[in-house]
Structure 1
């Protein structure tokens, strides 16, 4: 496979580590798109830590340069700005893209642009399940309409550092769980872009951004990043609770998110997709 990565942060590095351990043979080509100021460091790490992942490796700083290496699949894991800056170009070039920063689609104009770009390029905009399960069932039920979806995301207080939660509550002084945000999935994804991708995923798979109710919680007793949601539809009712361990390099990210992306790649490489 010829694989492209947009971003070389915690998710990309963890993903490459998992690829090195699970694929039977090196990738034919790995191309990493990063910011110019990180190009030297990225090149060095790829040559050192990840020397065996791919036969051919390249580091670029613009989408056209990424496309010049003919990727068959591109993984975006660099944040909302990277989605807007690079993903439409890649989709229009007829290359499928897995978007990890799903919350970026809370911007209605960007969501429309991405859908049009995918249609123009006859490519697929792939939205992985990430840290949450049951997305297949939710998407299936969504076709019947009439969905009611409620989501509650709980993380240890310090996992909410650097977000608007700091202005709402004293994260360092909490002794019990406290809800600091209640609203729609669109509001959650916009206010907490690094923490609310699950809310956006549920919204896109199910009832939409405005009809998906969200609560965000800082909980000193949380065993990790906890995602709970309930679904009521004319066809079925179900609820789910997932206790995810945080990624070793970023407490805001559930490590299962990386494995969700790994699944997308392995489904492309292997003879069976599941």
Structure 2
């Protein structure tokens, strides 16, 4: 095949937001390079995100300022090449937006998808971001990665559209996967791409050991979750236990992860995250514990594979039951986002 690079135009077409150029590279047995790479210029963002056979490769491989007529390819751009979109403006959404609005270490917050009554607060928090109240406006900002921290409904509705639009997606409302139809729709959309799903460890802090164990005959995963009495009460656990009679840590429900996530929608995302990393929702065992001795949640993960047993315990901080837990969830997302453009990826 021919080996050539098309020179990008010195200025974008004024009547068309997209200017497409084709790059052709040779294919060799040792280098499985795609024969066709499309570079798309978007006039609203002045960048050329790279797509290869429909797969979005991110701004780290190709990035250009409009009007230069020059691009670079190959290697990895460790600067702020990712363009971050955040869906949801609750505690986690605000914390992420604020963090990436003030740090140079990670992606730039480009777009926020919020409710109507949150527009002014979002604009004040991140003045340079595009604040949207509908998914169409959010997609027009062309984020390369989006964090969903809104709801399971939002994930199920917006997830496939984001993935189809070449936007990688880091979902937090993982309870959406408990519904088989939604799980299938999201996984099929990720398989088609060009965007991909990236699952964060969330409140567990780490799930990499489960993904590693899966490569070596992982055969058992048990997740035990302990919450204070008042938190279980708010979540409706009195369907299963008389919480007023609990004087010591008391298990009250054991089941598979899919059933538990269905019984407590929107509250036990750690169950789904660990299940996706390991054996899946139907083969992961979950035990729920009402614990009057703590004020914040604790988690324990036990797994067994051919590499040996693993046991991990994550304790909650000392804070009031109704306080913002400020657990590992936000910081696991920050780590993922910073890792995407880090020179040393851990």
TM-score by length of 1: 0.87
User: Is the CA contact 1:175–1:220 (under 8 Å) kept in the aligned structure 2?
Assistant: yes
1:15 matches 2:92 = no
Higher relative contact order (CA 8 A, sep 6+): 1
TM-score by length of 2: 0.70
Judging by fraction of residues, say which structure has more strand. 1
User: Is the CA contact 1:106–1:200 (under 8 Å) kept in the aligned structure 2?
Assistant: yes
User: Is the CA contact 2:205–2:332 (under 8 Å) kept in the aligned structure 1?
Assistant: no
1:1-274 equivalent positions in 2, closer than 5 A? 1-20=82-101, 23-24=103-104, 28-34=108-114, 38-40=115-117, 42-48=118-124, 50-51=125-126, 56-171=128-243, 174-222=246-294, 224-245=296-317, 255-274=327-346
Relative distance call for 1:27 and 1:122 in structure 2 (3 A) is: closer
User: Is the CA contact 2:231–2:321 (under 8 Å) kept in the aligned structure 1?
Assistant: no
Distance 2:175 2:298 in 1: 18
Q: After alignment, is 100-109 or 243-252 more displaced?
A: 243-252
The DSSP-based 3-state class of the residue aligned with 2:273 is helix
Q: What's the CA shift for 1:171? A: 3.5
Moved over 6 A (4+): 246-250
Distance 1:264 1:163 in 2: 29
The DSSP-based 3-state class of the residue aligned with 2:112 is strand
Distance 1:247 1:65 in 2: 39
Q: What's the CA shift for 1:226? A: 0.5
User: Is the CA contact 2:107–2:337 (under 8 Å) kept in the aligned structure 1?
Assistant: no
Distance 1:253 1:191 in 2: 22
Rg comparison, structure with higher value: 2
Q: What's the CA shift for 1:133? A: 4.0
Deviations 1:9-35 (A, max 9, x none): 1211222343355x227965531213x
User: Is the CA contact 2:100–2:107 (under 8 Å) kept in the aligned structure 1?
Assistant: no
**Which stretches in structure 2 are left out of the alignment for 5+ residues?**
1-81
The DSSP-based 3-state class of the residue aligned with 2:99 is helix
**Which stretches in structure 1 are left out of the alignment for 5+ residues?**
none
Distance 1:259 1:158 in 2: 25
- Aligned CA-pair RMSD: 2.5
Number of aligned pairs?
265
User: Is the CA contact 1:73–1:95 (under 8 Å) kept in the aligned structure 2?
Assistant: yes
